[in-house]
Structure formats: C-alpha cells, structure tokens
Copies of this chain bind each other. A is one copy, B any other.
C-alpha cells in the first residue's frame, strides 16, 4: 500500500513522528522553518491523515450518522439534503443509512454506526420501532442524538418535526371551507409518532366546525405494496365527499383507486395529501397539498445535533421543535368545487 503516513514524512525529513505530527496541526511551539518544511513536503506527497487511526485515538470521527426508514421517499431525501448542507459547512461528514422500516435493522445499523464512533446520530424512527431503550442507553452514554420527523414520546431527546397538528388542521379546514363534511382520513401507521398529531389536527378542525368525528372515516394504512387500495375501497363505502391522505404514498394510492373506479375527483371528492409530491400540479385536477419543509427540518436538526456535539448546548432542552408547514391550494381544485 502506498498511502503515505506521518512516519514516511518523518523518515524523509530526518525528524521524529511527533515533530511531524505537531507541525501538521497546532503550531504548538514549533520551529517555523521545520513547520514549513513538513507542511510543504506533506502537501507535495498529498499526505492525508488516516481517519481510522485518528478515530481510534480520539474516540471520535467527525462523522454524523443519519438513519432514515427509507431513502426512496422525497421527504427523507430532502431532509438529508438539509442535513448535509449544514454538516458539510461545519466540518462533518454525513453517512446515510436505511432501516427499511425494520426495528432490527435500525438497531443493528445504529450499533454499527456507534461502534464506528460517529460523533452524533440523527434518526427518524422506523414504523416498527416501539422499544427505544437502546437509544436511551446511548443517550445515557452521552452520545448526542436528535430525532426528526418520527420521534418518540418515550424518549427525552431533542426532536425536529413539521408542525403536523397545524398542517393537518389546515388541510382539513380547507376541505371544510370548500363545503365538505364527510372527510375520510387515510392515515399512516398509528405507531408512528406523527400519525397521532395529524389525526389530532384533523379532529380539531372537525370539532371547530361542529362536524362530528366518525371513526369509520379514519383508517390507518401500513407500508405493504397493496395495502392502500382495499382501505380506500372500504372508506368509499362510507360515501365520503373528500379525502385527507396523510402522506405522498397514500395520496397516490387514493388517486389510483379513485381513478380505477372512475370517480371524478373534482366534483365529488376533494383530496389533500400531506406531501411533497412534485407532480401535484400535473394532476387533473391538481391536488391541494400540505408541504413539509423538509430541507429546513434537516438543517435545524443537524444544527441542533452539532451544537450538542460541540457542547454549545449545555442544557439539553428536549422541547420538540416544530417547523411550520405550508398549505398549497391549487387553482382548479377550488374551481372544481
């Protein structure tokens, strides 16, 4: 292997490794000339310190581990972009991993990342994760952790999420103001923290407008490939006049099912997805959406984590940060109503 080490430089310049080492970092009392020599030589040979050796020595890695349920999801991939932007600026590398909505893989991945001395963890919990004790243990070992999007009430850890309650409220209220009264809600799995918040926002809007809550109009869908259609079919039996879908995937599932039954959405069904769908404008009629500030969530989460890592946050104020969502009303949805 011809990767060059501090030792090579030392030998070439007739110096000790410690002198070279010092010359390359703190100029902690080192002869200017020696330093110049070393730095120049190192430069010329493209010397790069071995991060593995440094990690072993210093017990850290300048790496932030990011674990998301799945990457094939515009929301998460955008959050990651936000994370990277901040982390990169502050001198950290970001390693990305997927839990594939599996508790076991989440656990294994986190263990691996921690074993590799990541300086901190940014996690969005898998839908199957109920036992978060492994995270609590890491937290007790002083490992900086920040949750985003999918947090856990069983964990006293800082979290950054969209304001799901307000977003769901806005979506539902919009539908109500368009004259709808029987609004079906296709929800994400109840085990996910934000499912409750979205449901609460939905219920609160109904309440505000004096519409009774009908549990038959609410169904949770999992992540299986063909789970949405039967659920939408069931909901259709309740003859809803609108749909509030709690995610991109569910919104698409709704649309597909409605299309299959040839139900014209504008006249009879209004649909709002809690989404980042980029093609919402292309649909006919365009879909009104609640957009999550994914980029910002990532940026804020990364910022908080790095503050924790660098000890700028003495008090770990674990009060959740809520980032405002945005209701995007597409023209002809309104027209259609």
Q: Residues of B contacting A256 with CB < 8 Å?
A: 281-282
Contact of A97 with B95 in the complex, beta carbons under 8 Å: yes
Contact of B72 with A78 in the complex, beta carbons under 8 Å: yes
Q: Is A191 an interface residue when CB atoms closer than 8 A count as contact? A: no
Q: Is A132 an interface residue when CB atoms closer than 8 A count as contact? A: no
Contact of B116 with A51 in the complex, beta carbons under 8 Å: yes
| Least CB separation from A281: chain B residue | B256
Q: Please give the distance in Å from A53's CB to the nearest CB on chain B.
A: 6
> Bound complex: CA of A1 vs CA of B59, how far in Å?
10
Contact of A48 with B96 in the complex, beta carbons under 8 Å: no
Q: Residues of B contacting A70 with CB < 8 Å?
A: 77
Chain A interface size band reads 35 or more
For window 93-129 of A, CB contacts with B under 8 Å fall at 93-98, 100, 111-112, 115-117
Of the A-B pairs whose beta carbons lie under 8 Å apart in the complex, a sample of 10, sorted by A's number, is: A48-B115, A53-B56, A71-B77, A71-B80, A71-B81, A81-B98, A84-B98, A252-B282, A256-B282, A282-B283
Q: Please give the distance in Å from A301's CB to the nearest CB on chain B.
A: 16
> Bound complex: CA of A273 vs CA of B273, how far in Å?
25
> Which listed residue, B96, B98, B252, touches A278 by the CB 8 Å rule?
B252
| Least CB separation from A284: chain B residue | B284
Contact of A111 with B48 in the complex, beta carbons under 8 Å: yes
State the oligomeric state as a number of copies. 2
Q: Residues of B contacting A26 with CB < 8 Å?
A: none
Q: Please give the distance in Å from A250's CB to the nearest CB on chain B.
A: 13
Q: Is A34 an interface residue when CB atoms closer than 8 A count as contact? A: no
> Bound complex: CA of A242 vs CA of B70, how far in Å?
36
| Least CB separation from A93: chain B residue | B112
Interface of A is mostly: mixed
Contact of B115 with A96 in the complex, beta carbons under 8 Å: no
Q: Is A255 an interface residue when CB atoms closer than 8 A count as contact? A: yes
> Bound complex: CA of A95 vs CA of B71, how far in Å?
13
Contact of B51 with A115 in the complex, beta carbons under 8 Å: yes
Contact A279 to B279, CB < 8 A, known contacts A50-B115, A72-B74: yes
Q: Residues of B contacting A100 with CB < 8 Å?
A: 84
Q: Is A153 an interface residue when CB atoms closer than 8 A count as contact? A: no
Q: Please give the distance in Å from A17's CB to the nearest CB on chain B.
A: 16
1/0 per residue, CB under 8 A from B, across A36-72: the answer is 0000000000001011110110010100000000111
For window 114-150 of A, CB contacts with B under 8 Å fall at 115-117, 141
Contact A51 to B252, CB < 8 A, known contacts A77-B71, A81-B72, A98-B84: no
Contact of A141 with B1 in the complex, beta carbons under 8 Å: yes
> Bound complex: CA of A282 vs CA of B253, how far in Å?
10
